[in-house]
A = this chain, B = another copy of it.
Amino acid sequence: MSTRQPVTINDVARAAQVSVSTVSNVLTGNRPVAAKTRQQVLQVVEALGFRPNRLARGLVSRSSKTIGIVASGLEYFGPSRTLVGMEQEASERGYSLLLSLIHDPATEEIEPIVTDLLAHQVDGIIWAIPQIGHNRTWWLNGAHPLPIPVVFLNHQTWPGLVSVDIDNCYGAQLATTHLLESGRQQIGLIAGPSTWYAANQRQKGWASALQAAGKASEPRQIMTGDWSPQSGEQAFYALMKRYPEMDALFVSNDQMAIGAMRAASDLNLRIPEDIAVVGFDDIPEAAFTRPRLTTVRQQVVELGRLAVTALLELIDSSNQQEEQQHNRLLQPSLIVRESSQRLR
């Protein structure tokens, strides 16, 4: 690598005794170069450790080979893995990631963030903000046409928006139906914060599964947490008080489920005998709680890869003006463990 006193394409051209365009053509492959000259050039490139300056390249070619990721909630299971998936897919396809995090999705100004990404000449943006709120309406009111494609994660489908997501509604249906089929009658819900799109979808899935079974889903069956184990614990206490006949519980994520199970245990309720519990996420800990937690597994890494794939398709096609609309949903699966064993 050597202590780069920046070596430029000119240095290479000079050393290889060819013109800069030849060097450029060797490197980009945009025009054919005689095999012999190419070898010569590559050799010099290697020897000098030349790496084309991507700023300069991006400036003239109008493509930075960089995509902007706007994310939040990296402290949670899903979002952090999804970011890993995005990076994998992107780097495998020669793209770099410019990362912006939003820390308060409810209030934070998003225009500066997008503007900054644009100033960096990113080729596309992945909007990976799980929370609904003004960050959504900003996009939805359509007042902000962007010169580059955008792919949305955890977002409702919307005409003109490309989005990929886990099918959270289906996952919750899986969980709830499983509880019903194993003989449970009274199924409570600890929901995630209503500011999260996924939380709403999971609640919807829970309700629709109950409805499909001819059962009501009333507000008193529902408590809302903030994803934390602590909120799960509190929600459980509240739920038992107002809905004492509850014999099963769907919890919108595993962390809250862990809190809820702790609370059940403190109330001397047995799981699954007195009350069955199903979580969501399948975090590593889920298989090692007591009892081991039944939960819904989602392909979070795959989701990230999918988002990048979708974005790159848009980027490629936008050069050719073809418009395509593929909103894809990944199907989660149910992992049955001890916490929801059928009663005998």
| Best-buried of A87, A97, A255, A285 by chain B (most CB within 10 Å) | A285
Contact of A74 among B2, B53, B84, B96 (CB under 8 A): B84
Residues on B with C-beta less than 8 A from A55 are: 55-56, 58-59, 64, 120-121
**CA gap between A232 and B289 in the complex, in Å:** 12
How many copies of this chain does one complex carry?
2
- Contact indicator B59/A84 (Cβ below 8 Å): no
- Contact indicator B99/A99 (Cβ below 8 Å): yes
Closest CB in chain B relative to A234 CB, distance in Å: 11
CB 8 Å contact bits of A195-239 with B (1 = contact, 0 = none): 000000000000000000000000000000000111011000000
Which of A164-172, A184-192, A257-265 lies on the face that meets chain B? A257-265
Residues on B with C-beta less than 8 A from A116 are: 51, 96
- Contact indicator B285/A255 (Cβ below 8 Å): yes
Residues 69-126 of A at the B interface (beta carbon under 8 Å): 69, 74-75, 80-81, 83-84, 87-88, 91, 96-101, 103, 111, 114-116, 118-121
- Contact indicator A229/B121 (Cβ below 8 Å): no
**CA gap between A287 and B266 in the complex, in Å:** 14
- Contact indicator B287/A290 (Cβ below 8 Å): no
Contact of A103 with B74 at beta-carbon distance under 8 Å, contacts A59-B59, A111-B1, A287-B229 already known: no
- Contact indicator A120/B147 (Cβ below 8 Å): no
Residues 127-152 of A at the B interface (beta carbon under 8 Å): 144-147
**CA gap between A248 and B284 in the complex, in Å:** 24
**CA gap between A258 and B88 in the complex, in Å:** 30
Contact of A285 among B51, B100, B229 (CB under 8 A): B229
Residues 262-312 of A at the B interface (beta carbon under 8 Å): 262, 265, 284-285, 287-290
Residues on B with C-beta less than 8 A from A83 are: 74
Closest CB in chain B relative to A88 CB, distance in Å: 7
A319 interface hit (Cβ, 8 Å): no
Residues on B with C-beta less than 8 A from A52 are: 119
Q: Beyond the given A51-B115, A54-B121, A228-B284, could you list 19 further A-B residue pairs with CB under 8 A, ordered by the A residue number?
A: A1-B111, A1-B115, A4-B146, A4-B147, A51-B118, A55-B64, A55-B121, A69-B99, A74-B81, A75-B81, A80-B80, A96-B116, A99-B99, A229-B284, A230-B287, A233-B288, A258-B285, A258-B288, A259-B288
Q: List 18 A-B contacts (CB under 8 A).
A: A1-B111, A1-B146, A3-B145, A4-B118, A4-B146, A4-B147, A53-B119, A54-B119, A55-B121, A66-B98, A88-B101, A96-B99, A96-B120, A97-B99, A229-B284, A233-B288, A258-B288, A259-B288
